[in-house]
Structures are given as structure tokens and as C-alpha cells.
Amino acid sequence: MTRPHSAAFGRPFAFLFLAFALAFSALPASAVYVLVDTGDQGQQGDSDALNCLLSGNGRFVFFDSWADNLVPGITNARDNVFMRDLVTGAVTRVSVTPEGSQVVGPPDSPFFLGGASADGRYVAISSFCSLLNGGGGLMLCYVKDTQTGGVQALLSQYVSCFDVPLSGDGRYALFVAGGLVPGEAPEAGRPSCSTARPRLWIG
């Protein structure tokens, strides 16, 4: 599947590699490279792999991809977020609803990866498309439990959360948002769900 893209982003990266034995100096001759954006049968992704995230224990890689051949049942003609287990080789699509349904929405509204817990169980995903069956249209951040499939919206209103770090245990998220201070009025010209003063929160 071909990803629609603008020349403003330059040439898209076709594959995602993980380099082991990385050092701040030149890589040693013994460095091992693993192609990450493959299916669990070893097939290479048929489109671009984009932003990525590594769990603290080094076992799980989360990545955004337009490939529709990494797992069965991809028919939503947009990017999806996947999790690759570097130990077992298993690949799972995590940008789905709690019921396992794929997310639909305009292809120009991509997913954004935030942070992951150290063990890779929880991952923060931001999108204009809803992971909770319905809604959408606002940039919301969701925390996905990759073991149970559960999804929790960080907030039910506008959140500027393109990069939401999670604590090591996945219990806390750091984010920027407006409209959480009682009595703050929206600034003229800004969306009614936003405010003149984005603030930093942890919750």
C-alpha cells in the first residue's frame, strides 16, 4: 500500500531497523541489525515505516506503518501502529478498539506515538481518529494496554499530546493541555475546547 505524502517531508523511510550494540562512537564490526517492520512470518512491510518507540526493557518496538501485509485483516487504507516482540518475533496491531476493530478515518490524520512503559505493556497513542468506537475529530491521547486490549482516553477534551511520556510502570502520563483550570476562558480565535494557556500536567 502506498502512503500519501507531501514533498515537504522529503523521501520517506522504507524500512525500520534496530541496531544492537549501539555506541556513541562508530558501531563495532560485531553490531547486529534486525529488520523490525516485518510480519511474524518474516515478510517485509509493503509500505513505509514511520515513527518508532522502544520499550525500556529493549524487548518491544512500537512503530507506525502504512503496510497492510504485516498482520491479517488490514483494510482501513491508512497507517496503523504495531508492536513487534523482538524475542518471539510476534507482530500485533495495537491501534485498534478494545473490541479489536480497526480504526477508520482520513489518511491525512496519522497516529503519533508517545511513550511506553518499561515492560512494553502500556503505550500512549495520539490521533484525531477515535480508539473508542465513535467520536474522533479532536486530537486525543489514548493509553493502550497491550495485554488486555483495553484503551483509556487520557482526557475527553482537546489535548496537544503529540509526544506523551509514560512513567516506567505506565501509571502516569505527562502532557500539555488547555482548559483544565476552572474559570479559564477560551482565547478568541482558538477552538472552544482549547484555551489561551496550554499548561503542563501529569496524571
Beta-sheet strand order (sheet of 112-116)? 112-116, 122-127, 140-145, 151-153
Stated pTM of the model = 0.77
C-beta atoms surrounding 93 within 10 Å = 18
CA angle 161, 82, 112 (to 5 degrees): 15
Residue 58 has which C-alpha cell?
529493549
Q: pLDDT digit of tens for each residue in the chain (203 aa)?
A: 555 543 334 344 445 555 544 444 555 566 677 888 888 888 999 988 888 888 999 899 999 999 999 999 999 888 999 999 999 999 999 999 999 888 877 767 788 888 899 999 999 988 878 787 655 566 778 889 999 999 988 776 555 555 687 888 888 877 766 656 665 554 444 444 444 455 555 66
